[in-house]
Amino acid sequence: MDPLSEVFSLLGMQSAATSRLEAGGAWALRFPGKPYLKFHAVLRGQCWLTLADQPPCRLNVGDTFLLANAPPFTLSNDPHLEAKDAGPLLDQTHSNIYRYRGDDAVLLGGGFVFQGGNARLLLDILPALIHIPAQEPAAATLRRTLETLDEELRMARMGTSLVTSRLADILLVQTLRAFVALHGVDNAGWIGALKDRRIGAALTLMHGDVSHDWKVDELASAVGMSRSGFAVRFKELVGMPPLAYLLHWRMQLAREALRRNECPISSLAARLGYASESAFGSAFRRVYGRAPKRYWADLRRESNGFGAGRV
């Protein structure tokens, strides 16, 4: 798999319910914060998105936005209106179509949750808000997917839940591609690095053979760069040096394997390129602050003591 697909596979990403919101007249709805990704797209009319401590953002027909680690937000036809809690509206029907005072504005919305506490891997590398305006070239691809998604929601045919879930996954990848196209490789963090011809190739090499004893000069030579130039460019785009990235990716894989109890720690250490179980344990403690054997046991104990959602 390419690195982005591999990250999504590790995350155990699942699409939350996708819905259609119709609103008219004077309206303002407040949505709670959620510890996952949320997207919305405007199919008809226009509205305003308001986040705390940020100026209101006008959304026009065809616009799409993505919220990472979604904070509380308000959608309205006038940012000066007092917002009502959207909870009662969302609870009043078992349908995925919600109606509020009319249909001057129509939006699609949905979210993505992650298994095993892996959300930080993706949420930490994305800006809080990704806004893709309708006039951007990449928005044309999003529009086609949104039209199909809207049709599935309105028609409620056999297999609708499965189809809408898969379309939401596609929409997320398309939004991330549009984000890189809009802001450029240099301003899109790790997601942008995947698009860079040389750094993206280095990431593919590391993900493709995670057990290999990669050296910085070896990676630089493989992608046709000098060692110093490669090291600087990699850190600029990814946010950390190449071998630090490799360490963190290995530990993400280790964390998930331990959660699943896939194999003995000695086998896991060898699979990830460590010569001994002790070397693997030292690397794991460096990233997570505790030994592999204690990691999930401690987190489960903390979760039982302080409430769900800690793991």
- For 95-145, how does the pLDDT look when each residue is reduced to its tens digit (9 = 90+)? 788 999 999 999 999 988 877 566 676 777 788 899 999 999 989 999 999
pLDDT at residue number 308: 34
Listed ranges 90-99, 163-172, 278-287, 294-303; the one with the highest mean pLDDT = 278-287
Final residue in a domain of this structure, among 187, 222, 244: 187
121 with 92, same domain: the answer is: yes
pLDDT of 13 above 50:
yes
Tokens at 182, concatenated: 């809009």
- Partnered with residue 28 across adjacent β-strands are 76
Residue 299's pLDDT band, with cuts at 50, 70 and 90, is: low
Residue 68's pLDDT band, with cuts at 50, 70 and 90, is: confident
Q: Would you give the distance in Å from CA 103 to the centre of its chain? A: 30
Residue 212's pLDDT band, with cuts at 50, 70 and 90, is: very high
139 with 225, same domain: the answer is: no
Residue 310 domain flag: no
As a whole-number percent, the residues of the chain with pLDDT over 90 amount to 57
Outline where the chain has alpha helix (H): 3-11, 87-91, 120-123, 139-155, 160-183, 189-195, 197-208, 216-222, 227-238, 242-260, 265-271, 277-288, 292-306
Any idea which of 35-44, 99-108, 277-286 has the lowest mean pLDDT? Answer: 35-44
pLDDT of 305 above 90:
no
Final residue in a domain of this structure, among 132, 156, 187: 187
pLDDT at residue number 302: 59
Final residue in a domain of this structure, among 141, 168, 187: 187
Between 189 and 94, name the one with better pLDDT.
189
Residue 241's pLDDT band, with cuts at 50, 70 and 90, is: very high
User: Residue 203's domain spans which residues?
Assistant: 192-305
In tens, the pLDDT along 164-174 reads 888 988 998 99
- Partnered with residue 100 across adjacent β-strands are 23
172 with 268, same domain: the answer is: no
CATH of the domain at 181: 2.60.120.280
In tens, the pLDDT along 215-239 reads 999 999 999 999 999 999 999 999 9
Residue 93's pLDDT band, with cuts at 50, 70 and 90, is: low
Give the CA count within 13 Å in the CB-facing half-sphere of 123. 20
87 with 9, same domain: the answer is: yes
| CA-only gyration radius of the chain, Å | 22
Residue 303's pLDDT band, with cuts at 50, 70 and 90, is: low
